[in-house]
């Protein structure tokens, strides 16, 4: 198998970015970015520094003062145009996602489609930012709540969803009346610049303030400055639990709001009544898709003792058939890991798991090492292990799946919950009582709980996020919009009198 050369990938990425509206010459600098496809250089870009954060926040605050006065349906019209432009540039943006993040073409296109979907959701939302009217205990009074734009929103995103997570925040924030400053992953800068350029076109066409959307390329110090800036009303951060332990307290210290989407260690319980054909398909996509680099990637299968052997054999057989290679080539299902550190973490976890009594039944080791020694294609791996040891409770951000047995359904739920993370979970069963129990307060403690589908592939209509060390944040659909607005409780007195609440008498 051959892979594209560095020159080919660089030319493709830069020309694609130009088509999206990026002034490639203006962003040139001395920081090298590389593609996980072959490990070669894609571009040399200029990074920004801490001082640029202050400038960006000042510009965003000025834009906020103007944008918050625009009616929400008019704000929605801008987002509608953004969605239309995303459709026009879907192939371009997907190409950049593949080049910089290593996603296979269908998953890269799916990520851009997710951006289109959240724009459509946000447009509808722009006419539904509802408050409540409540009965007042005082005669001649009305009690209600109203929702108002919050302020500047900072977004820190990770490499694995270099476009969609920003759009979840941005589309909703814009219709809520908030400008957005984006600090993307250092590993996917062209994708972020292209997304920003597409939105900038929509903003210009709408005659809206240009500073509604800003992007800051830079290292960790830029993200840290954004986190600590008192002008950032809401800080949405996606990344590791370790990162969240730093971000959360810093934002709280200045009484800002944070929205944290952190680690996941997602499990599927497969019961004795499960449709194994369905389960195998769901597990393989959730565990091996995106080369195991989703926060919702399935990392554990908890299977009933009556079917665990058969299920393990069927999964191992499916893994042996997974096509690994160039993510932009037809037929590839597993692309590269993002870098060598990711592979080293995978290799170390396998060694620990086998040292703790596990058996490697599929995968292990690198693929295509002779073709691309500077890229890291890993064989998706399965470890059969009898107990949930310490390494199993960790999130290894790579295609590593543990298979554990269980005897009774209550113990399966306990195993599902006995990890620090609480993002996504699923159960494969034909027993309605088991399904309902898994969904109940006594069941999975995760923010996403599925029946007869895998742990990944959430739709934008539902709120996305998790509990425990996943951070507790919610993005995307449902009522996640409330995080981007401030609530005011209003009392209107039309009685001509001044009765006090709770019957208080304060007659002077």
In this structure, the number of other CB atoms found within 10 A of the CB of residue 331 comes to: 8
The residues, any chain, with a CB within 8 Å of residue 80's CB and separated by 6 or more, are 119, 123
All domains in the chain, ordered by first residue = 49-262+471-488 (3.40.605.10), 266-460 (3.40.309.10)
Q: Which two tokens stand for residue 209?
A: 């303030």
- According to DSSP, residue 400 is labeled E
**Rounded CA separation 313/307 (Å):** 10
Q: Is there a contact between 350 and 365 (Cβ–Cβ < 8 Å)?
A: no
Q: Are 475 and 460 contacting, i.e. CB atoms less than 8 angstroms apart?
A: no
Burial class from Cβ neighbours inside 10 Å (0-12, 13-18, 19+) for residue 355 reads exposed
Alpha helices in 358-431 (DSSP H): 409-417
The number of beta carbons lying within 10 Å of the beta carbon of residue 244 is 22
Expressed in percent and rounded to 5, the helix, strand and coil fractions of the chain are 40, 20, 35
**pLDDT tens digits for the chain (508 residues)?**
789 999 999 999 999 999 999 999 999 999 999 999 999 999 999 999 999 999 999 999 999 999 999 999 999 999 999 999 999 999 999 999 999 999 999 999 999 999 999 999 999 999 999 999 999 999 999 999 999 999 999 999 999 999 999 999 999 999 999 999 999 999 999 999 999 999 999 999 999 999 999 999 999 999 999 999 999 999 999 999 999 999 999 999 999 999 999 999 999 999 999 999 999 999 999 999 999 999 999 999 999 999 999 999 999 999 999 999 999 999 999 999 999 999 999 999 999 999 999 999 999 999 999 999 999 999 999 999 999 999 999 999 999 999 999 999 999 999 999 999 999 999 999 999 999 999 999 999 999 999 999 999 889 999 999 999 999 999 999 999 999 999 999 999 999 999 999 999 998 8
Are the CB atoms for 181 and 232 separated by under 8 Å?
yes
Cα–Cα distance measured from residue 433 to residue 115, given in angstroms and rounded to the nearest whole number: 36
Given 224, 261, 469, 475, which residue is catalytic?
261
Give the pLDDT confidence score for residue 458 in this predicted structure. Answer: 87
Q: What is the pTM of this model?
A: 0.97
Which pLDDT value is given to residue 252? 98
Rounded Cα–Cα distance for residues 344 and 213 (Å): 37
Q: What is the reported pLDDT for 493?
A: 97
For 68-98, the DSSP string reads: TTS-HHHHHHHHHHHHHHHHHTHHHHHHHHH
CA–centroid distance for 322 within its chain: 25
Q: Which residue do the tokens 């002077």 mark? A: 508
The predicted structure's pLDDT at residue 491: 97
To the query of whether residue 434 is one of the catalytic residues in this protein, the response is: no
Contact 427, 438 (CB under 8 A): yes
Return the half-sphere exposure (C-beta side, CA atoms, 13 A cut-off) of residue 79: 31
* Residue closest to 301 by CA, chosen among 420, 432, 415: 415
């Amino acid at each position: 198998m051959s892979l594209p050369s560095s020159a080919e990938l660089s030319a493709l990425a830069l020309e694609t970015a130009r088509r999206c509206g990026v002034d490639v010459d203006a962003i040139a600098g001395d920081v090298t970015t590389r593609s996980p496809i072959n490990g070669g250089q894609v571009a040399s870009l200029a990074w920004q520094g801490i001082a640029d954060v202050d400038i960006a926040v000042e510009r965003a605050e000025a834009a906020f003062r103007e944008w918050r006065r625009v009616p929400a349906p008019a704000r929605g019209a801008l987002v509608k145009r953004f969605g239309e432009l995303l459709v026009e540039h879907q192939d371009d943006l997907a190409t950049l996602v593949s080049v910089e993040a290593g996603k296979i073409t269908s998953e890269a296109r799916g990520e851009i489609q997710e951006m289109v979907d959240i724009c459509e959701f946000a447009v509808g939302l722009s006419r539904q930012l509802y408050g409540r009217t409540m009965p007042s205990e005082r005669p001649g009074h009305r009690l209600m709540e109203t929702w108002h734009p919050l302020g500047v929103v900072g977004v820190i995103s990770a490499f694995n969803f270099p476009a969609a997570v920003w759009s979840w925040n941005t589309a909703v924030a814009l219709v809520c009346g908030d400008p957005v400053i984006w600090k993307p992953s250092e590993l996917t800068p062209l994708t972020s610049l292209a997304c920003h350029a597409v939105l900038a076109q929509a903003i210009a066409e709408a005659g809206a303030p240009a500073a509604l959307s800003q992007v800051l390329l830079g290292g960790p110090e830029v993200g840290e400055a954004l986190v600590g800036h008192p002008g950032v009303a809401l800080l949405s951060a996606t990344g590791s639990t370790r990162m969240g332990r730093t971000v959360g307290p810093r934002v709280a210290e200045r009484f800002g709001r944070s929205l944290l989407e952190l680690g996941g260690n997602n499990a599927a319980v497969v019961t004795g009544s499960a449709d194994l054909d369905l389960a195998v398909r769901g597990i393989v996509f959730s565990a091996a898709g995106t080369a195991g680099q989703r926060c919702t990637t399935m990392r554990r299968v908890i299977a009933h003792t009556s079917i665990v052997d058969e299920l393990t054999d069927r999964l191992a057989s499916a893994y042996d058939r997974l096509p690994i290679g160039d993510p932009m080539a037809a037929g590839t299902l597993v692309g590269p890991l993002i870098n060598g550190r990711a592979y080293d973490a995978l290799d170390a976890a396998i060694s620990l798991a086998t040292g703790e009594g596990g058996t490697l039944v599929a995968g292990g080791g690198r693929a295509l090492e002779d073709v691309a020694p500077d890229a890291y294609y890993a064989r998706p791996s399965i470890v059969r292990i009898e107990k949930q040891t310490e390494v199993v409770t960790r999130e290894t951000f790579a295609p590593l799946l543990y298979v554990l047995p269980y005897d009774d359904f209550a113990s399966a739920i306990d195993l599902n919950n006995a990890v620090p993370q609480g993002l996504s979970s699923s159960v494969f069963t034909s027993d309605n009582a088991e399904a309902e129990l898994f969904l109940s307060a006594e069941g999975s403690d995760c923010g996403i709980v599925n029946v007869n589908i895998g742990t990944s592939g959430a739709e934008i209509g539902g709120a996305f996020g998790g509990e425990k060390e996943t951070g507790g944040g919610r993005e995307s659909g449902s009522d996640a919009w409330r995080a981007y607005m401030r609530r005011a409780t209003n009392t209107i007195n039309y009685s001509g009198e001044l009765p006090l609440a709770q019957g208080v008498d304060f007659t002077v």
